Amino acid sequence: MRYHVKKIAIITGASSGLGREFVKLMKDRNEIEEIWAIARHQDKLDKLRKQMGTKVKPISMDLSNRTRIEQFGMMLSEQQLEIRYLINNAGYAKFCSYSDLNVEDSLNMIDLNIGGVVAMGLVCIPYMPRGSHLINIASQAAFQPLPYQNLYSSTKAFVRNYTRALNVELKDRGIIATAVCPGWIKTHLYDRADIGAAKATRRFCSMTTPDKVAKKALADADRGKDISIYSFYVNFCHIGAKLLPQQLMMRFWLRQQRINPYSQTDQ
Ligand SMILES: NC(=O)c1ccc[n+]([C@@H]2O[C@H](COP(=O)([O-])OP(=O)(O)OC[C@H]3O[C@@H](n4cnc5c(N)ncnc54)[C@H](OP(=O)(O)O)[C@@H]3O)[C@@H](O)[C@H]2O)c1
Q: What is the pLDDT of residue 161?
A: 98
In this prediction, residue 17 carries a pLDDT of 98
- Contact by Cβ (8 Å): 89, 15: no
Structure confidence at residue 267 (pLDDT) = 52
pLDDT of residue 113: 98
Query: What is the Cα–Cα distance from 4 to 25, expressed in whole angstroms?
Result: 24
pTM to 2 decimal places:
0.97
CB-based contacts of 71: which residues, under 8 Å, 6+ apart? Answer: none
Q: Domains in the chain and their CATH numbers?
A: 6-257 (3.40.50.720)
pLDDT of residue 231: 96
Beta bridge partners of 234: none
Whole-number pLDDT of residue 264: 74
- Residue 178: half-sphere exposure toward Cβ, Cα within 13 Å: 26
Task: Give residues (CB < 6 A) around ligand 1.
Answer: 12-19, 38-41, 44, 62-64, 89-93, 112, 137, 139, 182, 184-185, 187-189
Protein residue whose Cα sits closest to atom 48 of ligand 1: 185
Residue nearest ligand 1's atom 17 by CA:
189
The pLDDT score that the predictor gives to residue 2 is: 67
* Closest C-alpha to ligand 1, atom 21: 16
Mutate to test the pocket of ligand 1, among 12, 15, 18 (most ligand atoms within 8 A of CB): 18
What's the CA gap between 149 and 229, in Å, rounded?
A: 20
* CB neighbourhood size of 153 (10 A): 23
Please report the atom of ligand 1 found closest to the CA of residue 207.
3
The answer to whether 112 touches 168, Cβ cutoff 8 Å, is no
Which atom of ligand 1 has the smallest separation from the CA of 189?
20
Position 3 scores a pLDDT of 79
In the prediction, which pLDDT does 1 show?
Answer: 61
The series of mean pLDDT values per 10 residues for the chain, 267 residues long, is: 88 98 97 98 98 98 98 97 98 97 98 98 98 98 97 98 98 98 98 95 95 98 98 96 97 96 74
Q: Could you tell me the CA-to-CA distances from 238 to 22, 172, 183 in Å, in that order?
A: 24, 29, 10
182 close to 137: Cβ distance less than 8 angstroms? yes
